[in-house]
Structure 1
Amino acid sequence: MSWSIRIGSIAGIRLQLHVTFLFFLAWIALSQGLLTGHAERAL
């Protein structure tokens, strides 16, 4: 299984997004939600 998702290409250069980057974004959203007291709205 590849851990990268191809999202397109620009000028022949492949653009890929690593799966763990999505986990990182979710972690940031959840931590900000917990800091502000609105964890249910964070995700």
Structure 2
Amino acid sequence: MTGFIAEHGVQIVGGCCGTRPAHIKALAEAVEHTQIKERSVRKKCRG
């Protein structure tokens, strides 16, 4: 999961039913020192 977070620039993580606070805490600790990937924004107008 930490590789996915670093590769895709994930900045917010949540959980669903069955996700316990310990799961979120462990994930937060695992990525605590991960650099945030700079992402570019592509603007498109569709109509």
Same-fold status (TM-score > 0.5): no
* Bigger RCO of structures 1 and 2 (CA < 8 A, at least 6 apart): 2
Return the structure number with greater strand share: 1
TM-score (norm 2): 0.29
Return the structure number with greater helix share: 1
